[in-house]
Amino acid sequence: MVDNSKHPANKSGNTDASPRLVTIRLPVWWTMGGLIAGLLVGMITAETDLGAMLATITEPVGTLWLRALQMTIIPLVAALLVMGISQLAKAASAGSTARRMLLLVFVILVLGGIASVVLMPLLLEVFPIPASAGAFLSDSAGEAQPVPEIAEFLKSLIAPNLFAAASETAMLPLTIFFALLALALQRIPESQRATLLAFFHALANAMLVIIGWVLWLAPAGVFALAVGVAARAGGGAFLALGHYIAVVSAMGAVILLAAYVIGIGLARIGPGRFFTALLPAQAVAISTQSSLASLPAMLDSAKRLDIREEVAEFVLPLAVAIFRATSPAMNLAVAVYVAYLAGVELTPTALIAAVAVAFVISIGSVSLPGSISFVISIGPIALAMGVPIEPLAILVAVEMLPDIMRTLANVTMNVAVACAVDRSAGARD
């Protein structure tokens, strides 16, 4: 389950600044199997004595598993934020090429988040969430937290007591604090910075081991939750999951389209040439669902597009290590979906908080497996929006399907960014 070897991203190009985190192999297909089995059992036993007996067993099991997922969110997010932002600061000092790339990455992540909070509600108005999806929220679901109005929102950005903020899962002030801490580390002596980074590195690894244990129990936990969902929704649960996969993947398609706009419009590469050169890398992305595994194919696509070798060999490995273009857009799409599901009003302050947290959290979760980054990335966004996170425990079981779109769009955007940086560097020269 856990491998203490160096993180794979460190083996490619100029990414030896990447944090070395434990590698966790998760039972993805078993989790999907637990979901399907739970839905089928719940449908078959609904409104029977056997169903009532199963409910008394599975409800506490599912709740315990969900709480086990939640307990690691704050410490792991804190550790990953400090390490991720420190890594970005180090990358920014690598030269003008790195700074141009990071500026473009910043713009893409922010605009992706904004696009999601604008387009996702429109998409859900055109294609409403099936009524059966309400079963994802059990009777014991936590209440949505109210989001303050603008004046209270501004005052809430700074927490006078971090422990109180953590106990209240106030993610936005916690995110701001740990982002500032990461920046402050760049201004203290190297020996002190190394000590603190080693602490957060160890904290992240310990939390990853714990969440790895929890996610190895995902087939049982998801099964227990799915039994209750199917008992409430019947066969409509499958329809609801299909609707969720389609609309969330649509936000990934927006980022994919943006990658073509950058490659063709900003980098001024012919549409046919750009499309053709990307096909091998995209095929690897779809088959492996791994940006890292797609790196050799991305370098080959860069060569086909005549990107200078020194730019491609710097930008693409760095992009794999620190950049996941779809994170804000697709993570916000999930949070907005759950907000609509729970009937939470999406106020301007809630959306501002969501975009801010989504942007910062995306920096710290790049190197994590999909199932872990799903919980760690979307949980803080939902909490910042005042949205219950209970449905995430079910939705994580089908994340492998939207993850195909995530990887496809990420790989395409990485090459598009390399093209744009190369053209910018060439024009500057």
Give dist(CA 344, CA 142) in Å, integer: 13
Chain segment 153-180, per-residue pLDDT in tens: 667 678 787 778 777 777 778 888 888 8
Say what the pLDDT of residue 108 is: 95
Domain for residue 5, yes or no?
A: no
The values of phi and psi at residue 2, to 5°, are -120, 135
The values of phi and psi at residue 207, to 5°, are -65, -35
Give strand pairing partners of 24.
Answer: 2
- CATH label of the domain that carries residue 161: 1.10.3860
Higher model confidence: residue 174 or residue 9? 174
CB 272 within 8 A of CB 342: no
Q: What is the pTM of this model?
A: 0.80
Q: What percent of the chain has pLDDT over 70?
A: 84
Say what the pLDDT of residue 18 is: 43
Residues 6+ apart with CB under 8 A from 240: 129, 130, 132, 133, 135, 136, 233
- For 364, the domain range is 24-428
Domain for residue 7, yes or no?
A: no
Minimum mean pLDDT range among 82-96, 116-130, 208-222, 376-390:
82-96
CB 182 within 8 A of CB 167: no
**Burial label, 33 (beta-carbon count in 10 A; 0-12, 13-18, 19+):** middle
What sign results for the dihedral spanned by CA atoms 185, 186, 191, 196? positive
Chain segment 226-251, per-residue pLDDT in tens: 888 887 777 677 888 899 999 999 99
CB 258 within 8 A of CB 413: yes
Give dist(CA 147, CA 348) in Å, integer: 10
Domain for residue 51, yes or no?
A: yes
Domain for residue 207, yes or no?
A: yes
Q: Please give the average per-residue pLDDT across 203-223, as a whole number.
A: 86
The total number of structural domains that make up the chain? 1
Chain segment 287-298, per-residue pLDDT in tens: 888 888 889 999
| DSSP state, residue 24 | E
Chain segment 30-64, per-residue pLDDT in tens: 788 888 888 888 888 877 877 778 878 888 888 88
Domain for residue 171, yes or no?
A: yes
Say what the pLDDT of residue 9 is: 39
Domain for residue 170, yes or no?
A: yes
Domain for residue 1, yes or no?
A: no
Domain for residue 353, yes or no?
A: yes
CA dihedral of residues 94, 97, 100, 102 (deg, nearest 10): -50
Say what the pLDDT of residue 114 is: 95
